[in-house]
Amino acid sequence: MALKTREQYYEALRATHPTAYILGEKVEKPHDHPLIKHMVAGVAKTYALAEEPEGRSLLVAQSDLTGEDTSRFVKFYKSQQDLQDKVEMLKYLSHEIGTCYMRCTGMDAINAVGIETYNCDQKYQTHYNERFLNWLTMIQKNDLTVFSGVTDVKGDRMKRPSEQSDPDMYVHVVDRNDNGIVVRGAKVHQTGSLCAHWGLIVPTREMREADKDYALCFALPVDAKGFIHVYGRGSMEARELEECDLGNANYSKFCPMIIFDDVFIPWEQVFLCGEHEFAGNMVRQFGNFHRHSHGGCKCGVGDVLIGAAAAAAEYNGLKKVSHINNKLAEMIKIIYAMYGCSIAASVTAQPTPSGIYNVDPVLSNTSKLFEGKDLAEVHRMMIEIAGGGVTDLPSDKDFAVPELGPLLVKYLKGADEFSTEDRVKILRLVEKLAFETRDIVSNIHGGGSPETHRMVLLNSIDLESKKKIARKLAGIKE
């Protein structure tokens, strides 16, 4: 089958019937809900851009499984160039969409699972990799969207999965037979589960022998029986319900909770089940890939932050003010440090036995640490440049009142060469970029907590060799 068009993506999505709850109501058609449709539109835009010459060059590549064109979002990273192309694709999409487009977690999980199912088969003569490749071939041929379920609810964070007083705090096997397994549990922060056709579920941490029932990787359609999606609230959702004052008029982001209420998974969709020593490696591979992805998408959003700040300064009549230009330069420095680390992590990537290339973990995690700390400074400087008008603008509904609108247009005017309407639009965009909790928290915790990123740095660097260099220069004999 050829790559899907935007309309075919919508058609395939609406053919699914997921169990979804939004603000206390069970919703039969969640994809059309005002709190979901802007998120679905972001994914649809990725399909639309793949039909255009510039977008196609970034979004489409040849599959090593089928030999046909496929979406880069469901393709293995088979070279350093593939990883560089991923960063450039994500940066491009952020420029076009301005927020999350819901497909990166699936892409990064596909590659992590590809590596570790191969390794598991080599050790135990299992058939997980064969099953996985069969499933991925189906995904590619039908040009489907995949989200990845990673973060378990975890319960008591000081206890391992098998030590929890409630065993369902991590997704685990509760039954198995000749046909498949039954799983129970829940995961949170699941970017775009209601924008996807399938989910790819991976472990959230390393496992030990006692935790083997939690060492699970499997795929399932989003409308599988017993699979429940629960909308996760955001700070600006009232505006989406009102279709008013949106900032980014076309696109938005959401991260539902997903619940596995005794969901049956056939064996052909199970890619790890009990081989506990591969669980930690699988999620670490995912984490390194996903932090690498952030260096593309968040750098692209960073360009939007810089552009919004610079435009707001112009609309306020402050284009040539030196302290504003100094802040813009600082914003550029931070964004391009993130971008540079991700490109470098691509260039220094190394092949794994599976043939999939693994990014440099030090450089990919360094990019994410810049994001977690310094991207907050970029947001702060954007707000500082834009001014207090970001906080409490009258609603578009007020502008529509005949006796009030002209007064608002008069008194909210900025620089003479720009209209009030355009000034208000750019301030609304700044507001959306600055105060949408899903994006701000994702900058810090997306792809794992900052402490996880620091642990990867320490575990990946040879400190002894660095101490040896220091002792040599200090004149200390070994």
Tens of pLDDT, residue by residue over 22-76, are 999 999 999 999 999 999 999 999 999 999 999 999 999 999 999 999 999 999 9
Q: How far is the C-alpha of 203 from the C-alpha of 173, rounded, in Å?
A: 12
What's the confidence (pLDDT) of residue 389?
A: 87
Residue type, 148: S
Tens of pLDDT, residue by residue over 163-186, are 999 999 999 999 999 999 999 999
Tens of pLDDT, residue by residue over 205-259, are 999 999 999 999 999 999 999 999 999 877 777 788 878 878 887 777 777 899 9
Q: Look over the chain and give the mean of its residue pLDDT values, rounded to a whole number.
A: 93
Tell me the mean pLDDT in the region 9-25: 96
Instruction: Please state, in angstroms and as integers, the Cα–Cα distance from residue 14 to each residue in 11, 17, 27, 48, 102, following that order.
Output: 5, 7, 13, 17, 17
Q: How far is the C-alpha of 325 from the C-alpha of 385, rounded, in Å?
A: 9
Residue type, 223: D
Give yes or no for residue 414 having a pLDDT over 90. Answer: yes
| All domains in the chain, ordered by first residue | 6-273 (2.40.110.10), 282-465 (1.20.140.10)
Tens of pLDDT, residue by residue over 323-342, are 999 999 999 999 999 999 99
Residue 219, beta-bridge partner list: 200
Give yes or no for residue 137 having a pLDDT over 70. Answer: yes
- Picking from 334, 336, 337, 314, the residue whose alpha carbon sits closest to that of residue 324 is 314
